[in-house]
Copies of this chain bind each other. A is one copy, B any other.
Amino acid sequence: MISVSHSQFFPKVGDRVETIDTPAVVVDLDLVDANVSKLFALFKAKKKAVRPHLKTVKCPEFAQMFLSAGAIGVCVAKVSEAEVLAAAGIEDILITTEIAGDLKIKRFINLLRNHPKVKIVVDNIEAAKALDAEAQSARVKPSVLIELNVGQNRCGVEPGDPALRLAQSIGKLDSLELVGVQGYEGHLQHVHDRKERERLCREAINKLVDTVKLLEQNGISIKIVTTGGTGTSEFCSEFAAVTEVQPGSFAFMDVDYRNAIGTSYANALTIVSTVISKPAPNRVVIDAGLKSLSTDSGNAEVQGMKGIAYTPGGDEHGILQIDSASIPLKIGDRVHMIPSHIDTTINLHDFYICHRKGILERIWNISARGKVQ
């Protein structure tokens, strides 16, 4: 990743954050520690397991931090992400997205040969049969979870009878072991009103637990009932049938989550950027544009500066504007940007600069970045 020509400019442990090159992903480890402690204490008190979703951090070192804090395993979205984490020694991995296609199924089954605790979701019997056939020929027995549509209308079999029929059909396959059910109320994570979010979440999770009950009434044992994101896990954990929650963004947070759920988890990650131009008193241009800050959930914010609006000014430019007064920034000054959507912003970058009180402590590759396969 680091070519010889500029390795001398790459940050080193002990450097000060305010001297590193920009744009860069800066993580305050003290704040991450606090977020992690808070979340694990909450679910320990509620007697629920935590399986953090690594689609946010994309990094084995942060995964190990979660496991040390008490996580029972991790979630990822893709087989290629699971490969990175398994190679780093993490075994209990749930892939939360369905797969299809001969090569992908072979790739998943191949991963299982040495990492049998990798699990995956299914929502369709034809896909399950394809998985079963490949598993049989490789002599492995994948653990699968049925994904249930609890209202997000993305993937997932419908609750109740359709789920029961799928579970019964999977039960007839020799090489798949049905171990659980996954629901994910992704559409509710950013409902701003807490009471409304809780009410809608209860509706969604009732579909999940009612279906689990139906399966068990029909003699199908369900060990894992997994659901919940950063915005809903607290509510999901009130249901006795739910065995584990899957939050991910709590570690770093972002503007979108802060607007929805407040500041109980701290914003622990920023993109540090430099002012490269000041063409007008009320407008400066920074070196962080669409390639440094994702925009799928709105625009990033400037940390610690009220009333200054950021808009992307192209791939590599960001424009900071203030309505009337002169903006209190000059060329060469640095700003810390709070991402609007943490997952997709991290996905743009190659490494984390982790510090405590401004002194670099760790530089971690975002090893699962771009692992979309």
Q: Are A107 and B21 touching (Cβ within 8 A)?
A: yes
**Please, how many residues of chain A have a CB less than 8 angstroms from a CB on the other chain?**
81
> What 0/1 pattern do residues 307 to 342 of A give for CB contact below 8 A with B?
000001111110100000000000110100000010
- Cβ of A149: which chain B residues have Cβ within 8 Å of it? 279
Within 8 A of B (CB), among A16-49: 19-24
Q: How far is the CA of A331 from the CA of B125 in the complex (A)?
A: 11
Min Cβ gap A184→B in Å is 9
Q: Are B290 and A296 touching (Cβ within 8 A)?
A: yes
- Cβ of A114: which chain B residues have Cβ within 8 Å of it? 5
Q: Are B292 and A372 touching (Cβ within 8 A)?
A: yes
Within 8 A of B (CB), among A99-136: 99-104, 106-107, 110-111, 114, 123-124, 126-127, 130
Question: With an 8 A cutoff between CB atoms, is A157 at the interface?
Answer: yes
Q: How far is the CA of A99 from the CA of B349 in the complex (A)?
A: 19
Question: With an 8 A cutoff between CB atoms, is A84 at the interface?
Answer: yes
Q: Are B279 and A316 touching (Cβ within 8 A)?
A: no
Q: Are B155 and A83 touching (Cβ within 8 A)?
A: no
Question: With an 8 A cutoff between CB atoms, is A3 at the interface?
Answer: yes
**Residues in chain A within 8 A of chain B (CB atoms):** 3, 5-6, 8-9, 19-24, 55, 77-78, 80, 83-84, 86-87, 97-104, 106-107, 110-111, 114, 123-124, 126-127, 130, 149, 153-158, 186, 274-279, 283, 285, 287-288, 290-292, 294-296, 312-317, 319, 331-332, 334, 341, 343-344, 347-350, 370, 372-373
